[in-house]
Amino acid sequence: MQVNDSLCRVKSQLIVRWIVQIFLFILCLGNACYAYSISDFNDPVIADSILKKSYPACIKLHGIDSLTRAQNSSQFSAVVVTPEGHILTVAHATKPGNLYRVLFPDGSEGTARALGRLVTDKSTNLPDVAMMKMEGQGPWPYAEMGCSSSLAEDQLCFGWSYPESLMLNKPFLRIGQVVKPLDPYGFVVSSCIMEPGDSGGPLFDALGRVVALHSRINGPEGLNFEVPVDMYRQYWSALQVMEELEEHPKSKEDLGIDSLVTKLHAQSTLATKRKMIKTKSSPAVIMISSLLHDDTVSIVGTGFALGKRKQIILSKSSSVGQRPVAKLGNKSYTLKVLARDKKNDLIALALPKRLSGAITLADIVEAPFSDENLGEPITSVLPEDGFKYGILGMSPLSLPARFSTGSLGARLQEINGLPTVLQLDSLGPAERLGLQKDDQIITVDDKDVASAEKINRELAHYFPGDTIQVSWIREQDTLSGSLVLVTRMMREGNHPANHFKGGKSVRRDGFDRVFVHDSRIHAYECGSPILNQEGKVVGLNIARYSHTASLAIPADVLLVFLKNEELE
């Protein structure tokens, strides 16, 4: 269903574009011609007031020991729905009577206790319903509950929750549509993409009311399964009791009639009204191929004009290796590397041919993003008139290196205060250098690394391909040498969130300033420009971080790089 929708959207865009361009060509008499293009077939706009109203009630939780207060469970998400502190979440994340640490988006904290948990099928955790309650005095920030029975196919919806992979204490906003109001298993199906950590997070309707809770995903990125809020509303009294419910309670609350159903349908129709953006001719977006670790890899590049005569191609540095080539039509052109920015993973290349549609500095937004921009629609422009749509889900932030750092090819453990080699990868950098089991590393690039904390902190500054100088102790001898770090081997689990087209980018963190969005950019589509509704460039896609999150370098950082003297 997602694929068909995308194909229809692209066909509609192309037809409208051709008609409009022909019409404008007739009207133009030699002046610079501006073409109009559709920014989004179903433009995902939620009123800023609705987003702000729902945000404070969206919480992050983890289990804690009742005595030591130490964390004893994975994190999950939830939402407070009454000023007294009643919390809705999912059963697979809670256990009746247990205590949980609660973190609100503003940084304030509290504790909650799990109440009732409804699971009639232990093999699937269905229907996956659970309630909790804040401890201590309220009133607490809360979100209004809606009626899941009022949902209809294609209605706009959104969610605030906390993906575990991001390890952040602010929720990530995603906007989508209702795919099915109710499926055969009793779930609401939405296109609001989610992953582990989002479980229990709220799905809101276009009026900002909680209508479902995130439960699970399937293989396709556009299919996400949510527990209808009507399940909580009809079993409200039974869920107040701190116990496991293994069958549906016989007593039910009267759900009544949704007095806002007409307003909901009107709001959803208004929010998905098609909008137009005014841009110059389509940005110059091309594919680049190069040799990286003996493999041919492809990545997107975007043309920028630095004045009347100078043009460059901007792309993702770690995905551009030796002998880069751009293919335009039936011809291939060798690219020259002008500059690399390791901190932001950017590369500038020279093309021996002028590009039509190169982005000028005037086409780039100068004002940086802030929380005030959350929820704004964005469009990623891809080669061959491709487009992907999403929204700004988190304002610019720093993502320290965790997954992308280079590897020594050795497993270390702190013994007697020093990082000690326990195991060496066969033919890895450390083994080729001559390190042996039980060697103790003392410096990296002449910096003291005499503890696990110190060596981890130092190696966080280096990426695959970087050369470092290592010194180590073997019995009474001090040895040293240089090695080239390799890509860290990551063991991904079988969860569907770890398996999606294009996979995760190899370099996906270690950035000082990126913003997060939900456009489902494939790893090989990084290097593509992102436009706002006015057709201005607001960023450049730089990494597919996880199942839910794509990262982009914001426009103000791009401008600094583009104004670099090396590019003059």
List, in order of start, the domains of the chain with CATH numbers. 2-13+28-41+279-399+506-567 (2.40.10.120), 44-273 (2.40.10.120), 417-482 (2.30.42.10)
Tokens of residue 250, six digits: 């016989």
The pLDDT of residue 27 is 30
Position 312: which residue type? Answer: I
Q: How many CB atoms lie within 10 A of CB 8?
A: 11
Handedness of CA 452, 457, 463, 469 (dihedral sign): negative
Cα torsion through 54, 55, 56, 57, rounded to 10: 60
The pLDDT of residue 493 is 74
Would you call 115 helix, strand, or coil by DSSP? strand
Spatial CA neighbour of 117 closest among 250, 235, 252:
235
The pLDDT of residue 10 is 36
| Helices and strands, counts by H and E, the chain | 8, 37
E strand intervals along 164-232: 172-180, 188-190, 202-205, 210-217, 224-228
Q: CA-to-CA distance for 358 and 337, rounded, in angstroms? A: 18
Q: CA-to-CA distance for 388 and 333, rounded, in angstroms? A: 27
Is residue 363 within 8 Å of residue 352, measured between CB atoms? no
- Residue 306: DSSP 8-state: S
Q: What are the phi and psi torsion angles at 491 (to 5°)?
A: -95, 105
Spatial CA neighbour of 238 closest among 98, 63, 120, 62:
120
Is residue 239 within 8 Å of residue 252, measured between CB atoms? no
In angstroms and rounded to an integer, the radius of gyration of the C-alpha atoms of the chain is: 26
Measured CA to CA in angstroms, residue 254 lies from 146, 234, 251, 495 at distances of 14, 6, 10, 38
Q: What is the pLDDT along the chain (568 residues), one digit of tens a residue?
A: 333 433 344 334 433 444 334 333 323 323 222 232 433 344 557 889 999 999 999 999 999 999 999 999 999 999 999 999 999 999 999 999 999 999 999 999 999 999 999 999 999 999 999 999 999 998 999 999 999 999 999 999 999 999 999 999 999 999 999 999 999 999 999 999 999 999 999 999 999 999 999 999 987 677 899 999 999 999 999 999 999 999 999 999 999 999 999 999 887 665 554 444 445 557 899 999 999 988 999 999 999 999 888 999 999 999 999 999 998 988 999 999 999 999 999 999 999 999 999 999 999 998 888 999 999 999 999 999 899 999 999 999 999 999 999 999 999 999 999 999 999 999 999 999 999 999 999 999 999 999 999 999 999 999 999 999 999 999 999 999 999 999 987 777 778 888 888 999 999 999 999 999 999 999 999 999 999 999 999 999 999 999 999 999 999 999 999 998 677 6
- Residue 32: DSSP 8-state: P
The pLDDT of residue 16 is 41
Put simply, whether the predicted model's pTM sits higher than 0.75 gets the answer yes
The pLDDT of residue 271 is 53
